[in-house]
């Protein structure tokens, strides 16, 4: 029963950490896209700061939650050492990351629209 719990916890940790990474990475890319659009003079500075005001807090929050997830799961709880836990983490993280990679092109293209 204990190994089933650890496997489920690992799957959930994989999903949460992959999701937080994807959201943080999208926020970072959106900041970069805003800067490119501002330098190319495709958006006014007011729109630039509005987009940054939306993406920077999300990026920081998601990176902090990602760090917290790793800290709690690996350091505080001491999980992630058994092979079954590592498999569970992999099975949780890969589908979420794969879903992101499938739709990443569309999301990045949308970031560059003024």
pLDDT of residue 60: 97
**Owner of token pair 């709690």:** 72
Is the Cβ–Cβ distance between 55 and 61 less than 8 Å? no
Quick check: 79 and 34 in contact, CB under 8 A?
no
Entry pTM: 0.87
Low-confidence stretches of the chain (pLDDT beneath 50) = none
Residue whose entry in the numeric block shows the structure tokens 């509005």: 50
Question: Do 96 and 22 meet the contact criterion of CB atoms below 8 Å apart?
Answer: yes
What is residue 1's predicted lDDT score, i.e. its pLDDT?
63
């Amino acid at each position: 029963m204990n190994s089933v719990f650890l496997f489920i916890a690992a799957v959930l940790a994989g999903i949460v950490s992959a999701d937080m990474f994807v959201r943080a990475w999208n926020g970072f890319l959106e900041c970069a896209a805003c800067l490119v659009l501002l330098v190319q003079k495709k958006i006014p500075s007011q729109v630039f700061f509005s987009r940054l005001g939306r993406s920077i807090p999300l990026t920081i929050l998601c990176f902090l939650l990602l760090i917290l997830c790793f800290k709690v799961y690996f350091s505080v709880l001491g999980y992630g050492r058994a092979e079954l836990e590592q498999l569970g983490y992999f099975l949780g993280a890969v589908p979420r990351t794969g879903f992101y990679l499938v739709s990443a092109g569309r999301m990045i293209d949308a970031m560059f629209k003024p």
